[in-house]
Amino acid sequence: MSARKDAGDGRAHAMWAGVVAPVLFVSTFVIEGRLRVGYDSCAMYISALSLGPRGWVQILNFVVFGLLLLTFARGVATGTPSRVGPALLKIIALGNLLLGPFVMYPVGASRDLTSIHGTVHHFVARIVLVLMPVSCFAFVPRFHQEPKWQSLEWCTLAAGTTVAIAVAILAIATMVASAQNTFAPWLGLIQRVAVVPYMAWLFIFALTMRRTTATSEELPLRRK
């Protein structure tokens, strides 16, 4: 009984980590963006907040988010027949852990002046952005199969579709901006259209799991 209680407490803590992670992450980069002199949220990426004397705030934001998401992903993975969704969440979490210390190089910087840190950052950022909608779609079949989770099915599908479209537009806009500087004033806004809905989905997902865990010792995505 004690072991089952400890397991239940561990899952509850994991769900709380999932609730706190997106709220803390978004709140931090929004507030920091407003406080940072010369920072343009519409034009500049979230990662640009990692640059400069106050860059440690966003660096820490990436790391804390990664740790919390990793904790949440482990809670989701427990007792789940399909490992795809939780595995993708873990990869995204590890990606954010790397995005912190591997700071981006400024947009428009000469390739001769770019560092290994910036190269790793941009490579990992692309992977994380692509996997965000994929992770949403990976959970849709599970939510469809579980009656008490079907309320999340359309929310998850909508979030995944929105993020996927935004990521595709961001990829195109980045290439066009590099060549013609046409979409440069909107790159930050487009990125946020991809990031914020995903964070909202994580919050709803974790909060719903937290409520279910509080009333049942059985995980909602249980083994059959």
pLDDT in tens, 135-162: 999 999 888 887 777 888 999 999 999 9
Report helix angle 84-99 to 55-77, nearest 10: 160
Q: Is the pLDDT of residue 112 over 90?
A: no
The pLDDT, as a whole number, for residue 223 is: 40
Distances (CA, A) of 171 to 24, 28, 53, 158, 194: 26, 25, 29, 20, 11
- The verdict on residue 35 lying in a domain is yes
Q: For 146-186, where are the alpha helices, taking DSSP H only?
A: 153-180
**Residue 96 one-letter amino acid:** N
Residue 223 covered by a domain: no
The confidence score (pLDDT) of residue 48 equals 94
Percent of the chain with pLDDT over 90: 57
As given in the structure block, the two tokens for residue 211 are 């409520």
pLDDT of residue 183: 75
- Residue 220 maps to a domain: no
Look at residue 219 in the predicted model and tell me its pLDDT. Answer: 44
Q: 118 in a domain, yes or no?
A: yes
Does any domain span residue 221? Answer: no
Write down the pTM of the prediction.
Answer: 0.87
Domain that holds residue 78: 2-215
Q: For residue 127, give both structure tokens.
A: 């992977």
Say if residue 5's pLDDT is above 70: no
In a domain, 106, yes or no: yes
- Residue 164 domain-assigned (yes or no): yes
99/91 Cα distance (integer angstroms): 12
How far is residue 103's CA from residue 119's CA, in Å, rounded to a whole number?
Answer: 9
- Among the residue ranges 90-94, 148-152, 181-185, 190-194, the one predicted with the least confidence is 181-185
Q: What is the pLDDT of residue 178?
A: 62
Domain count, the chain: 1
Say which DSSP state 104 is in. Answer: P
Residue 100 falls inside a structural domain? yes
Q: How confident is the model at residue 210 (pLDDT cuts 50, 70, 90)?
A: confident
Q: What is the pLDDT of residue 75?
A: 87
67, pLDDT greater than 80: yes
Under a CB-based contact definition with an 8 Å cutoff, are residues 28 and 65 in contact?
no
What percentage of the chain carries pLDDT values higher than 70? 81
The per-residue pLDDT for 77 is 74
